[in-house]
Amino acid sequence: MPMPALDPLDLYDVRGQLSDEERMVQDSVARLVDEKVLPIIQGHFEKHTFPRELIPELAGLGLLGSSIEGYGCAGMNSIAYGLICQELERGDSGIRSFVSVQSSLCMYPIYTYGSEAQKQQYLPRMAKGELIGCFGLTEPHGGSDPANMKTHAKRRGSDWVINGSKIWITNGAIADVCVCWAMTDEGIRGFVVEKGTPGFSAPEIENKFSLRASVTSALYFDNVVVPEANRLPDAAGLKGPLSCLTQARYGISWGVIGAAQACLHQLIEYSKDRTLFGRSLASNQAIQVRLAEMGRKITLAQLLSLQLGRLKEAGRMTPSQVSLAKWNNCRAAIEVARDARDMLGGSGISAAYVPIRHMLNLESVITYEGTETIHQLTIGRELTGINAF
Ligand SMILES: Cc1cc2nc3c(=O)[nH]c(=O)nc-3n(C[C@H](O)[C@H](O)[C@H](O)COP(=O)(O)OP(=O)(O)OC[C@H]3O[C@@H](n4cnc5c(N)ncnc54)[C@H](O)[C@@H]3O)c2cc1C
């Protein structure tokens, strides 16, 4: 019996490692991406708009806060969350970013550090997509050093007065709820600031070359008054925001695999169809070596994320392990996208092909949630015990 051909996008049969339920989640998100995301995404990318019309669809499949138990959330496992990110980012990194921020950066801190009243107030409506969230950590003077934040909150009676600014905030201008991190006399604390609170504004950053189908904003806090009831009671210190980033980075490590798969998939078809020098492009050794490199990078990224997911499920995942996967997989995906763009020749700069859109998006993804260098320094610290930041 000849061995069946391997799936070019899953050479090590990672799918065969999944439970029936995980496969079902992957298939339903894949269908959503094929039917609802791919037909519209290039148009939104060109117009620099976020496809808000997708929010009910994402909510309908339980993709918002998918790992949270209760509060109207789906309570799926970590592998399922990873697969959701992977399939969504096969569509576009902007859609995955929306879900990452809503789920890991806004719902997660409310769920983990919030009061019961805060959970009841926000989580069910966020799961339904009725409320959109954002996460304000990065500041204009340097996102890599969040401990040095300038935004501050001062107690005034039973209220807090917040002043400062944030930059590069995903979903900011469309968010109803902002989890804002600010320095207080007691250290870093998290606050829920609602849209419309006097002194709070979130103007969109226009004219990005990357993540054009995602809203990115500045946040301004000008004597913004919030009651003590809006402080996340269980968040203390930098550990609060960093733990949210660990959740989101985990999802990113899976997500970028989808972007790379989309590029490889299109490139395989293209290189078989295109005839140069009397034979298909795909029959050149130099092209096959480059395709093989892509297959290798995607396979290693898949195995890293799968094992990371298993560690997460077992409660043994560490931030350094997440750094390694975020760094490796973003690097792999951007290299695949750039090389795919090149192998498409002139067509590679056309909107008719996906690699250039993924390539441009991945410039953001490799930068946000910790730049590549920051993750390398994290691994360096793990290896040496020396903090070189
Ligand atoms: C599209 C987009 C969406 C984003 N969404 C969000 C969001 O929702 N919420 C949020 O809070 N933030 C968000 N960010 C911000 C993002 O996390 C930051 O851009 C990122 O952390 C880097 O910070 P920075 O841009 O200030 O660069 P900097 O910190 O100024 O870094 C500049 C360069 O210096 C390097 N560097 C820094 N420190 C060192 C060092 N010690 N040694 C060597 N090199 C170093 C970095 O690697 C980088 O190459 C988003 C960013 C983008 C682009």
Q: Ligand 1 centroid to 25 CA: how many Å?
A: 32
| 341: nearest Cα among 279, 277, 283, 290 | 290
The whole-number mean pLDDT for each consecutive block of 10 residues of the chain, a chain of 389 residues, reads 91 98 98 98 98 98 98 98 98 98 98 98 98 98 95 98 98 98 98 98 97 98 98 98 98 98 98 97 98 98 98 98 98 98 98 98 98 98 97
CA of 366 to the centre of ligand 1 (A): 10
- Of 46, 369, 372, 382, the catalytic one is 369
- The beta strands (E) that lie in the chain are given as 69-70, 73-74, 133-136, 152-156, 159-170, 177-184, 187-194, 200-201, 216-227, 275-276, 279-280
Q: Are 29 and 84 in contact (CB under 8 A)?
A: yes
Q: How far is the CA of 138 from the centre of ligand 1 (A)?
A: 7
DSSP tag of 335 = H
Residue 354 in contact with ligand 1 by CB distance below 6 A: no
Active site residue 57: no
User: With contact defined as beta carbons under 8 Å apart, do 89 and 95 qualify?
Assistant: yes
pLDDT tens string 99-149:
999 999 999 999 999 999 999 999 999 999 999 999 999 999 999 999 999
According to the model, what pLDDT value does residue 351 have?
95
Q: Which pLDDT score, from 0 to 100, does residue 336 have?
A: 98
Q: Which atom of ligand 1 is nearest to the CA of 241?
A: 11
For 66-133, the DSSP string reads: TT-EETTEE---HHHHHHHHHHHHHH-HHHHHHHHIIIIIIIHHHHHHS-HHHHHHHHHHHHTTSS-E
Ligand 1 pocket test target in 89, 100, 103, 138 with most atoms within 8 Å of CB: 138
Joined tokens for residue 313 = 């499920």
CA–centroid distance, residue 157 to ligand 1 (Å): 35
Q: Is 369 in the pocket of ligand 1 (CB under 6 A)?
A: yes
Determine whether the shortest distance from the Cβ of 142 to ligand 1 is under 6 A. Answer: yes
Judge contact between 204 and 220, C-beta under 8 A. Answer: no
pLDDT at 49: 98
Cα 337 to ligand 1 centre (Å) = 21
Residue 327 beta carbon below 6 angstroms from any ligand 1 atom:
no
Q: Is residue 211 in contact with ligand 1, taking CB distance under 6 Å?
A: yes
CA 96 – ligand 1 centroid, Å? 19
From the CB of 137, is ligand 1 less than 6 Å away? yes
pTM, 2 dp: 0.98
- Integer Cα distance of 318 and 215 in angstroms: 30
Q: Is 181 in the pocket of ligand 1 (CB under 6 A)?
A: no
CA atoms of 33 and 36, how far apart (whole Å): 6
Which token pair is 145? Answer: 């050093």
- Give the whole-angstrom CA distance, residue 255 versus residue 329: 9
pLDDT of 174 reads 98
The response to whether residue 355 sits with its C-beta less than 6 Å from ligand 1 reads no
